[in-house]
Chain A
Amino acid sequence: MAATTSTNPLHRLTPEQIEEIGKAFQEIHDDVYSDLGDRDATYIRSIIEFHRRLGALSRIMLMASRYPPALVLGTIGLSMAKIVENMEIGHNVLHGQWDWMNDPSIHSSTWDWDTASPAAAWKHSHNYVHHTYTNIVGKDKDVGYEIMRIDPRQKWYPFYLAQPFYNLLLMAFFEWGVASHDLDFEAIRSGKKSKQQLRDELKAMGVKARRQIIKDYIAFPALSGRKGFKRTLKANFTANIVRNLWSHAIIFCGHFPDQAYTFTEEDAKDETRGGWYVRQLLGAANIEGSPTFHFMSGNLSYQVEHHLFPDLPSSRYGEIAPRVKAICEKYELPYNTGPFLQQWLMVQRSIVRLAFPGGKERPKADPYRTEHEPSSNGSSNGHVAHTGPVPAFP
């Protein structure tokens, strides 16, 4: 039984409306897909090149880490490079957003990223489990990552009392948290995952971890000479922590702010394509910000668009946002969004509040209306031309 007291807009839409919404979203997808070409390929290649140049330059700078200016600049540069690599490049390539290029060196089947998670394990837990069962409490293991209570519907256990503290640890060491999360503890406990598979996954994790540790904490520090070894090691550690804090913040703002809806397994029973789209729309929340902010968040600040179209290149999300909003307006659906600090504080409040038993559903956003958005380009049907150059970065 769907909760009759629920304010969830999914429950008031008729099957016909849900089908229309599905078609409207599918049309956006197909329009963009048929338009992909040179400018998109140029975009991702220039970003990849930017990351490699910035990364190489920062590493070279850190070889002189015994001089403070080199240390500071190198650390900032490396933190930025790691963020770009993980967010705008790694996450999106592993989603298959660039597979249409048919380029074996920018392809989800061959890519690996500069983080603790081996690509294969992450693709399963994220692309498949999270993106299919988004926000279904009990099925989407990203609802609290199996260690936190961030939705009042999750059953309370005493160990959640500690979640405000271990959340701080998770912020700092997020990449290791994600890597262990990919193992899927529940599947291990219930025996759904065979011992052999677990062994293989642990082995892949070990190999990846060893390579990452040798690179950041042995090889590059060694290249900085005896005097610079410790400083470069600390700089690399700092860059990893900065990247972890940032990705934790962006990712937690994707589904855990107050506006985002969660669902029951009943809600998703016999779900149609249209129903899936509505669930993705309601379960995600955007973050408002400048083009640079969107870029540094890997366009996950367009979490709504990303969840609707996880296989479309991230650089297109900003362009299709007006069309998504137009659909929201037509069907009186919310378009969840808010400024970064507000979204982030909401998440932190929920983590603290829900560490204790009880808790109520937080107030949700109103249906989207154009006048809320004075900066809208005013096109009446919400269609914008999605041609023209992709803005260069930086």
Chain B
Amino acid sequence: MVEKAAEPQLHPLRRRALAFARALTTPLPADDYLALLDPRWSAREQTGTVVRKQPETADAATIVIRPTFSWSGHQPGQYVRLGVEIDGIRQWRAYTITADPEHPEDFVSVTVKRTEGGKLSPYFVDEMPVGATVFLGEVEGQFTLPDPLPEKLLMISAGSGVTPIWSQLRELERRGFDGDIFHIHGARTPEEMIFGEHLRAMRERCSAYTLHEHHSKEKGRVGAAHLDEIVPDWREREAFLSGPRDMIDEMEKHWEAEADADAEALHTERFQPTIGEGGEDVGGGTVGFRVTECSAECEPGVSILVGGERAGAVLPFGCRMGICHTCVGRLRVGRVRDLRTGEIEGEEGEMVRTCVTAPDGDVEIDL
């Protein structure tokens, strides 16, 4: 199935009127005719209009969106799938929601950092005009503040991984949190730090919040080895880690080895700009697409989806990061590995996500 935006929440009367009108408009929904008058009158999908773009750093911007239908709400730290049409093709990416929940104007925002060679992030940061339409998917994500709040928190972020941490810090400030937050943020230089000024201002006005900036251009990337020096009591804090996959993997191992704290005290969010383009040493083999009647050779690290596309097959896809399940196909022969964990995923006869799995030897799939 092709990926769709979220279903708008409609007034029950409107819903009933639309169902009734369908007697006249079948096989199309009545929305399709309302859209002739104004495209925003169609309630097929939740859409939004870009109302402004705020530059955050030289290569990151906050996209402020007014949802067409009332916003379903979100918790700080969650993300939303965002769809845009580029050259006639709708593409999806997931981004952390950086707007406050219950924004007074009902606005929603995401903060996007341009990834070199990426497809969507340069579009969002540089090209997308104010007034453009975006498709808003479901709000998802488990990287949220626990209830009740712990007394001592440790937040570690790097690069655009700061976005969910930013949302959480704002929430903590709004709630008047009077415990102790220690935040380590890794950025290349002070200027390249997304929300740098806001966070520095927060440090000035908020006694509970300590910000430690780690500038990787001088000191190298922030890693587990720095923890004892920067925040000696890290083992006693409930931790929120958000950043590139390898950083989080390293930290997680460190936690398991060093800290006595139980796993629930560690929350992680991995930021992965692209999956399946090759590079990782996971899997590799040939994929036979039974429906498309095409076969593809996948180098290690190349997902079934990317391999198939490179071989000319037209395959369903959505988020391309293992979230939305648009790209699933039934595995008929062979084994696949999850590119993110390297683990075997799915057995013969099961549905597997082609965007995050690579063949492990020869496989066949019903796609």
Contact = CB atoms under 8 A, between A and B. Distances in A.
19 contacts: A30-B312, A37-B87, A38-B88, A39-B88, A40-B88, A52-B32, A53-B36, A56-B33, A56-B36, A100-B89, A102-B89, A107-B2, A109-B1, A112-B28, A208-B27, A212-B26, A215-B23, A220-B24, A311-B314
A316 B126 CA distance: 32
A41 interface: yes
Given A102-B90, A103-B90, A214 B23 contact: yes
Given A38-B88, A52-B33, A102 B23 contact: no
Given A101-B89, A112-B28, 14 more contacts: A52-B28, A56-B36, A102-B89, A102-B91, A102-B317, A103-B90, A104-B3, A105-B44, A105-B45, A114-B27, A212-B26, A214-B23, A219-B23, A219-B24
Interface string B74-99: 00000000000101111100000000
Interface residues of B, number: 23
A215 B24 contact: yes
A11 interface: no
A360 to B, nearest CB: 36
A90 B165 CA distance: 48
A211 interface: yes
Interface string A297-308: 000000000000
Contact of B3 (A37, A42, A102, A215): A102
Q: Tell which of B2, B85, B88 has the most Cβ of chain A within 10 Å.
A: B88
Contacts, number: 71
Contacts of B2: 99, 102-104, 107, 109-110
Interface string A219-231: 1100100000000
Contact of B26 (A38, A59, A211, A223): A211
Contacts of B200: none
The 9 closest A-B pairs by CB, nearest first: A41-B88, A112-B27, A37-B87, A102-B90, A104-B4, A37-B88, A211-B26, A38-B88, A104-B2
A101 B26 contact: no
A59 B85 CA distance: 33
A211 B19 CA distance: 13
DSSP class of B's interface residues: helix, strand, loop or mixed? loop
B254 to A, nearest CB: 40
A113 to B, nearest CB: 6
A215 to B, nearest CB: 6
B314 A99 contact: yes
A324 B36 CA distance: 38
A112 to B, nearest CB: 4
Interface of A: 30, 33, 36-42, 49, 52-53, 56, 59, 99-105, 107, 109-110, 112-114, 208, 211-212, 214-215, 219-220, 223, 311
A52 B27 contact: no
A215 B26 contact: yes
Nearest to A53: B36
A209 to B, nearest CB: 11
B256 to A, nearest CB: 40
Contact of A49 (B24, B36, B87, B314): B36
Interface in B173-228: none
Interface string B118-161: 00000000000000000000000000000000000000000000
A63 B5 CA distance: 36
Contacts of B312: 30, 33
Interface string B1-42: 111100000000000000000011011100011001000000
A100 B314 contact: yes
Nearest to B32: A52
Contacts of A311: 314
Given A102-B2, A114-B27, A215-B23, A37 B89 contact: yes
Contacts of B36: 49, 52-53, 56
Contacts of B32: 52, 105
A102 B24 CA distance: 28
Nearest to A119: B27
Nearest to B90: A102
A124 B322 CA distance: 30
A61 to B, nearest CB: 15
Contacts of A104: 2-4, 44-45
A194 B356 CA distance: 37
The interface centre, meaning the residue of B2, B3, B33 with most chain A CB atoms within 10 A of its CB, is B2
Contacts of B3: 102, 104
Contact of B27 (A49, A211, A223): A211
Contacts of B90: 101-103
A226 to B, nearest CB: 19
A390 to B, nearest CB: 12
B290 to A, nearest CB: 13
A122 to B, nearest CB: 12
A100 B2 CA distance: 10
Interface in B328-357: none
A101, A102, A223, most chain B CB atoms within 10 A:
A102
A59 B1 CA distance: 33
B319 to A, nearest CB: 12
A40 B317 CA distance: 20
B15 to A, nearest CB: 18
A223 B23 CA distance: 12
A41 B85 contact: yes
A30 B24 CA distance: 41
A228 B88 CA distance: 44
Contacts of A113: 27
Contacts of A100: 89, 314
A101 B88 contact: yes
Contacts of A105: 32, 44-45
A42 B85 CA distance: 12
A101 to B, nearest CB: 6
Contacts of B317: 102
Nearest to B23: A219
Contacts of A39: 88
Contacts of A42: 88
Contacts of A107: 2
Contacts of A114: 27
Contact of B87 (A33, A38, A208, A223): A38
A110 B1 CA distance: 8
